[in-house]
């Protein structure tokens, strides 16, 4: 390392000679920091997104590299959030790509003490059969007073406040067509 390099590695020298006269950024970075690239810099693709936690609706940018999410940060263009995320929003990468995430279907048979495996298609078919059976078994054409009700009282669902509008729409549409009135979400909690 020559004298010029040695001097150049000295923060005071960089602060006096470079543009960062207050010593708040480039002048005081270490070699390790200089060698570190932002995970956002090398993204192949940035998807426009929205924070999935509370209802403020802070805008997120999802940085994708090699088909995986490299980083999630706030979008400074948003008039709602101005690029900021709170502790929960900042943990979004941990939420979507953390070790607790389940990626396989699990099935617990009656009286079983543990999970077993199940193919997704088989599970969907079993659930469809059970919905139809529960609907048939609990179908009410008229209530006790003789009013026509056309409903299935043995089916219920809970959830929707963390889902998309389009998802809630299809849930309400299918559930209503099935005659299942017991459909609720966190707004009731």
Partner 1 sequence: MGSNMAENHPVAFQWVVDAQRNGARVIHVDPRFTRTSALADTYVPLRPGSDLAFLGGLINYILDNGHQLSEYVAAYTNADVIISDEVALPDDLVKLLSGYDPDSGTYDATAWRYAGVEQPVVAASGKRGRHPDRGGGETPRGREVEEAERDPTLSHPRCVFQLLKRHYAGYTPERVAELCGVSREQFVEVAEALCANSGREATSAFVYSVGWTQHTVGAQYIRAASIVQLLLGNVGRPGGGIMALRGHASIQGSTDIPTLYDLLPGYLPMPQAAAHPDMASYLSALTAHKGFWGDIDAYLVSLLKAWWGEAARADNDFAYGWLPKLSGDHSTYRTTLAMLDGDIAGYLLLGQNPAVGSSNGRLHRLAMANLDWLVVRDLVEIESATFWRDSPEVESGELDPGEIATEVFFLPAAAHTEKDGSFTNTQRLLQWHEKAVEPPGDCRSDLWFVYHLGRRIRAKLAERDDPTDLAVRELTWDYPVHGPLAEPSAEAVLAEINGVDAHGEPLAGFAGLAADGSTACGCWIYAGCYAEGVNQPARRTPRWNQDAPASRWGWAWPDNRRILYNRASADPAGRPWSQRTAYMRWDAEQGAWVGPDRPDFPASRPPDYAPPADAAGPAALRGDDAFVMQSDGKAWLYAPDGMVDGPLPTHYEPHESPVRNGLHAWQASPARQRLAHPHDPDNPGSTDPAPGPPDPFGPHAPPFPFAITTYRIAEHHTAGGMSRFGRRLTELAPELFVEVDPVLAQRRGLVHGGWATVLTARSAVEARVMVTDRLRPLPVGGGVIHQVGVPYHFGYGGRATGDAGNDLLSLALDPNVHISEYKAATCDIRPGRRPRGAALRRMVDEAADGHHHKGAG
- Binding positions for partner 1, 110-169, rule CB under 8 A: 110-115, 118, 120, 123-134, 137-139, 141, 143, 145, 147-169
Among candidate residues 31, 29, 36, the one with its CA nearest the CA of residue 11: 29
Site membership for partner 1, residue 186 (CB under 8 A): yes
Helix (H) or strand (E) holding 45: strand 45-50
Residue 181: strand, helix, or coil: coil
Site membership for partner 1, residue 28 (CB under 8 A): no
Site membership for partner 1, residue 41 (CB under 8 A): no
Nearest-approach distance from CB 30 to partner 1, in angstroms:
25
Nearest-approach distance from CB 71 to partner 1, in angstroms:
11
List the one residue from 13, 28, 29, 86 that touches partner 1 (CB under 8 A): 86
Distance from C-alpha of 185 to C-alpha of 166, rounded to nearest angstrom: 15
Residues in contact with 74: Cβ distance below 8 Å, sequence separation at least 6, in sequence order: 58, 59, 60, 61, 81, 82, 83, 84, 85, 89
Site membership for partner 1, residue 40 (CB under 8 A): no
- Binding positions for partner 1, 43-72, rule CB under 8 A: 45, 47-60, 62, 64, 67-69, 72
Tell me the number of residues near partner 1 by CB under 8 A: 122
Task: Give the number of other Cβ atoms within 10 Å of residue 83's Cβ.
Answer: 14
């Amino acid at each position: 390392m020559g004298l010029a390099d040695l001097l150049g590695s000295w923060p005071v020298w960089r602060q006096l000679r470079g543009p960062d006269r207050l010593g708040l950024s480039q002048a005081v970075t270490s070699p390790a920091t200089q060698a570190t690239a932002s995970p956002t810099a090398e993204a192949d693709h940035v998807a426009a997104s929205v924070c999935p936690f509370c209802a403020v609706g802070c805008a997120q940018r999802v940085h994708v590299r090699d088909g995986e999410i490299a980083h999630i940060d706030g979008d400074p263009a948003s008039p709602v959030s101005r690029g900021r995320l709170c502790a929960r929003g900042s943990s979004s990468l941990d939420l979507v790509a953390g070790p607790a995430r389940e990626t396989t279907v699990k099935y617990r048979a009656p009286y079983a003490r543990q999970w077993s495996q199940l193919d997704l298609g088989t599970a969907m078919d079993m659930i469809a059969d059970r919905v139809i059976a529960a609907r048939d078994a609990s179908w009410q054409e008229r209530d006790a007073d003789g009013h026509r009700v056309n409903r299935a009282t043995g089916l219920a669902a809970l959830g929707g406040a963390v889902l998309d509008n389009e998802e809630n729409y299809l849930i309400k549409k299918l559930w209503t067509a099935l005659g299942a009135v017991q459909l609720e979400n966190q707004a009731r909690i």
